Structure 1
Amino acid sequence: MTRRSIALFAGLVYSMAGGPAMDRAAAAPATSINICHGYGCAFRSRLDLGPGDDRKFASILVAGRASPEAERKAIAKAVSYYEKRAQQVTGVRDQPKSEFGASKVKGQMDCVDESTNTDALLRYLARRGLLRHHKVEARDSRGFLLDGRYPHWTAVIRAPDGVKWVVDSWYAPMGGAPDIIRLGDWKSRGVLESGALNYRPDIR
């Protein structure tokens, strides 16, 4: 074989194997997100989201392109998948709400942990252009003890009509569907009142 023949053969094999596209996929850096747990982010475990996760989130969010409502349903599914990935690095499936006395227990989460983690996911999705109908807003809270309610935090998104919606994953066990309700409705509730879980996606 001449050098030219060898080069052409090598180029053909490289192209058939995926060529530059495969190189880019292999070289794509993982996105690291710190998963808060232990109440008040007492502990942080690093979750690396790689190309496989990117594809999974893209496949979930494609179902939300039709409308803001469809996108909120897709966001609920994305949160469920994300929490199952988070469980892989914490090693514990968090229980719904906040278990009394579980402060500083690794893997258990309060509303600060939950809202911080959900907010991080939403911003990850936004950076990848996967949120077509919503913008990610700053986390919000309700209750301050003097009003007879415990403080409670949530992640927030804003729809094209300006209405803000909470994405509150505190009420469900890890991997369950988050509450997605209007912020105004959420603000009026007590901490133990779920938003009736508008969306309960079936995650396989």
Structure 2
Amino acid sequence: MTFRCARAVATLVLALAIQAGRALPALANEGVLHVCSGYSCAYRTALPLSPGFRKKLAGIMAPGAASAQAERKALARAVAYFERAATARIGVKDGPKGEIGRSRIYGQMDCIDESSNTGALLRYLQEEKLMRHHESRPAASRGAFIDGRYPHSTAVLREKNGELWAVDSWYEPAGGAPDIMPLAEWRKRGVGGAR
């Protein structure tokens, strides 16, 4: 088995662990959010959750109260704001996507880091009652090589009507808008590495 294949299998195993809820960064009692980087959460950096941070997120999320669609638009802005704050704290601006050869580099993020971080933000927004139309759900994965797709993971939202939504921030550099789409559509994508 090549290093590349072994690394991909390890990434898939970790994605399944995240999906089961065992590897998610959690909100700590000290008022911090732990931000993953270095691929597969090799490093965790504490991001303090100050009153100013919450106030900024509340302002970003306020227009989302109008509808589920408006809330998803607000969530895209909240994820972008969170990523800018997280990478400023880390001191490294993560680029779009990720490359296998970049693992164990502090500040660089693969889809496991991205889905973990976005999922942690979604749980924070839910706990702070800043989401009205959605709730955070465990991460989801797609791809298994034999189907022509590299294993990939995303954060997930459940709309109050039951529809599941992917919140995938991996394709853009830190601070870029995440892809937010129905999870069923997201699961069909990724053939040949395409978005």
TM-score, structure 1 normalization:
0.79
Q: How do residues 109-148 of structure 1 correspond to structure 2 at under 5 angstroms?
A: 109-148=109-148
Q: How do residues 1-204 of structure 1 correspond to structure 2 at under 5 angstroms?
A: 31-190=31-190, 192-194=193-195
> Displaced runs of 4+ in structure 1, greater than 3 A?
none
Higher relative contact order (CA 8 A, sep 6+): 2
2:57 is paired with a residue of what secondary structure? Answer: helix
2:173 is paired with a residue of what secondary structure? Answer: coil
Q: Report sequence identity in percent.
A: 52
1:190 is paired with a residue of what secondary structure? Answer: coil
1:101 is paired with a residue of what secondary structure? Answer: helix
Please list the CA deviations of residues 25-61 of structure 1 after superposition, one character each: whole Å capped at 9, or x if unmatched.
Answer: xxxx962111100101111111111000010011011
TM-score, structure 2 normalization:
0.82
What is the CA–CA distance in structure 1 between the aligned matches of 2:194 and 2:177, rounded to whole Å? 15
AA aligned opposite 1:171? Y
AA aligned opposite 1:136? S
Count of matched residue positions in the alignment of Structure 1 and Structure 2: 166
Which structure has the bigger radius of gyration?
1
5+ residue gaps, structure 1: 1-28, 195-204
What is the CA–CA distance in structure 2 between the aligned matches of 1:183 and 1:130, rounded to whole Å? 22
What is the CA–CA distance in structure 1 between the aligned matches of 2:148 and 2:176, rounded to whole Å? 28
Q: Contact (CA 8 Å) 1:32, 1:49: kept in 2 or not?
A: yes
5+ residue gaps, structure 2: 1-28
AA aligned opposite 2:108? Q
